[in-house]
Structure formats: structure tokens, C-alpha cells
Amino acid sequence: MKRKTALFIIAFVTWVFLNWVPDTQHLIIGALASLLVVFITADLFTERQYTVKHHLRYWYFFTWYLPVFLWECFKANIDVAYRVLHPRLPIRPGIVKVKTKLKTDTALTFLANSITLTPGTLTVDINKDEGILYVHWIDVKAKDIESATKIVVERFERILTKIFE
């Protein structure tokens, strides 16, 4: 109930600031819209919010994860741009299955988003129970799980393990 109340307050305050007309009619519409947002999206949030309690984890995030993510993103942007500019360059799109050792919702979300935000890859599905991600890859370099995991997941997984696990 606390989550839903907090979500309602955030949605309502956002409505008030974006729609700054201080009359009763707009406030009632804002409250109804906020209730609708709570009704539709309250179940999308994880049950247990993750908090990073050790300050060293922040250090890992800013000094280790961000540079690796930005470098991988830069390399992937260059690769995709090259493929667009040279259309005869062969591509082998496909969906590969990769494994992860990450267990927490936050770590899996970070991993899936890191893969998705890197051009040329897109996380399609996550099977949390088995630790499997399905990734669409613009140029499949390996079809077996171990090799694909090493190429797609490993660079982010070892850092995210130190931060979130």
C-alpha cells in the first residue's frame, strides 16, 4: 500500500507541476489521472526495491561499469554505422540464448538494459528462474550458449556482480 500511495503522490505532484492551473477542476482531473496511473502501473514495480548499502559499490559503478558501458556502446555504434554505410557487408541477424549468474531483479534489469542500449543487440526475454536471456543480435558470431554468453554478457556481468550481488 505504501508503494501505491507513493506512486499516487509522485504522479499527482507531476501532474500539478506540468499542468499548473490551480483550480478545482484541474486538480480533480489530476487526481483521477494519478489514480489511473497507479491502477495500471503499480504492479510493474519490483516487490523489493534494491538499495546499494556499501559505498564501494557506487565507486565500482562510476569508475568501472560506466567506462566499460560507454566504450562498448561506442564500439557498437561504430559497427552499426559501418554496416549502414556499407550495405553489402554481410549481417547474420538472429536470436541467441545466453546464460547469466545474476539473480537479483535490479542486476538482471541492468544487464538487460546494458545489452539493449548497446546498438546491434536487444534483450528480447528473460527467464529469471533459469538465468537465461534471449538476445537479438544484428550479427550473430556464435550460436552456442557458452560462446554467445562470453561475447554478449560477460563484459557486463562480472562488473554488475560486484555492484548488485
Mean pLDDT value of segment 59-87? 89
Q: Tell me the mean pLDDT in the region 80-108.
A: 87
Give yes or no: residues 25 and 64 share one domain.
no
Same domain, 76 and 118: yes
157's grid cell:
556481468
Residues 85-96: tens digit of each pLDDT: 987 877 889 999
Same domain, 15 and 39: yes
Q: With respect to residue 49, please indicate whether it lies within any of the assigned structural domains.
A: no
Residues 74 and 33 in one domain: no
Domain with 141, as residue range(s), is 55-164
152 closest CA partner among 128, 132, 135, 129: 135
Considering the domain architecture, whether residues 9 and 76 belong to the same structural domain is answered as no
CA gap 151, 28 in Å, rounded:
52
Look at residue 47 in the predicted model and tell me its pLDDT: 53
Same domain, 36 and 68: no
| 99: helix, strand or coil | strand
* Cβ count within 10 A of residue 100: 24
Spatial CB neighbours of 80, under 8 Å, sequence gap ≥ 6: 119, 120, 138
Alpha-helical segments (H) within 19-133? 24-41, 55-60, 66-85, 105-117
- Position 84 confidence tier, pLDDT thresholds 50, 70, 90: confident
Looking at the structure, do residues 110 and 132 belong to the same domain, yes or no? yes
pLDDT value of residue 143: 85
- Please name the amino acid found at residue 35: L
Q: How many domains does the chain have?
A: 2
